[in-house]
A = this chain, B = another copy of it.
């Protein structure tokens, strides 16, 4: 499929500056693009590349001045880029049908135009909504409910009784509804607490590869509408995640914690159990959250603190050796002037070094 720059501009609501008749067949990054490509600049630091790119055209912010390439001017270039990408790559659903190599329990209900690939395993009393696509090696446990227009990629499990809304995407190897991690000591053993709740995933949620969302002990583990979860994320039993939350790769959330709407937890952040993380919170990568966090907070560090304060703390942290020298110097001067009697920096005697 090819388009003129003018055609693209019209469909994404951009203004053309330059030759709109040039024909493009796809999009590439500004350094990789050739004369048959459209590219984009969302981050101003890449604007100089507009003078060296081989691309036929570039989607840019409306305030970009002249450039030796046709410009598609728009207020929100990143959003326009996503729109243009969808023009070149319209969603392709595999043709509907139930593979004879799938095993579908006779009590399961399949909606219209579902795609059930080979080696899919659908248990009793499962419901699959219209147009949903199940890739190979997907297993749906007894009584699971999958909405319409979902895509479950290869190696996904949805365990018994779990419920997915519409337009949910589960990437390869995502595991929904495994047992929560709950044990109670019985003498010298750890006795398993039955995990009899479910996972409920609302509409428009996306879950990354090999992410794990545990079923509730009682009730539901919930992922709110529109939330996006990256790869290798752990969501423990009874966690309640709000709407349009972003959980970046390798985040872990412990049991029964709630996360408010639009909150963003960056990569490798960990959250302790039974906490309330507010709405619109931002946590930097690797944050360790061990107490509840108010709406709108920006936090970082482990244990976490207000991010601006953390930045100030880290600035001093890096200079600790220098600070120690200055302190020692002061002590020496005090002593030299007969003002002191202070103990100097001693070797040993630090409980932190000897205890463990």
Residues on A lying within 8 angstroms of B by beta carbon are: 27-29, 32, 76, 78-79, 81-82, 85-86, 88-89, 101, 103, 117-119, 121, 135-137, 139, 153-155, 157, 159, 169, 171-173, 175, 178-179, 181, 183-186, 188-194, 196, 204, 206, 208-210, 212, 214, 217-219, 226, 228, 230-232, 234, 236, 238, 244, 246, 248-250, 252, 254, 267-268, 270, 272, 285-286, 288, 290-291, 293-294, 297, 299, 302-306, 308-310, 312-324, 326-327, 329-331, 333-334, 337, 339-343, 345, 350-353, 355-356
A320 touches B313 (CB 8 A): yes
Q: Which residues of B contact A32 (CB under 8 A)?
A: 218-219
Q: A175-B173, A210-B212, A248-B181 are in contact. Are A218 and B288 (CB under 8 A)?
A: no
Q: A32-B219, A101-B103, A137-B121 are in contact. Are A321 and B331 (CB under 8 A)?
A: no
A–B complex contacts, Cβ < 8 Å, 20 sampled: A79-B185, A85-B196, A89-B196, A153-B159, A155-B155, A155-B157, A169-B192, A172-B178, A172-B212, A189-B244, A192-B206, A212-B232, A252-B268, A267-B270, A294-B355, A302-B302, A304-B356, A305-B353, A306-B356, A322-B345
Please list the 8 inter-chain residue pairs (A to B) with the smallest Cβ-Cβ separation, ordered nearest first. A306-B355, A309-B352, A305-B352, A316-B320, A178-B209, A121-B136, A175-B209, A212-B231
Q: Which residues of B contact A196 (CB under 8 A)?
A: 27, 85, 88-89
A181 touches B252 (CB 8 A): no
- Complex CA gap A308/B184 in Å reads 26
Q: A79-B184, A173-B173, A339-B337 are in contact. Are A318 and B313 (CB under 8 A)?
A: yes
Q: Which of the residues B228, B293, B355 comes within 8 Å of A181, measured between beta carbons?
A: B228
Chain B residue nearest to A28 in the complex (CB): B218
- Complex CA gap A188/B227 in Å reads 11
Chain B residue nearest to A289 in the complex (CB): B356
B118 touches A231 (CB 8 A): no
- Complex CA gap A226/B185 in Å reads 11
B318 touches A350 (CB 8 A): yes
A184 to nearest B CB, angstroms?
5
B28 touches A352 (CB 8 A): no
- Complex CA gap A239/B206 in Å reads 21
A318 touches B352 (CB 8 A): yes
Q: Which residues of B contact A333 (CB under 8 A)?
A: 334, 339-342
A92 to nearest B CB, angstroms?
10
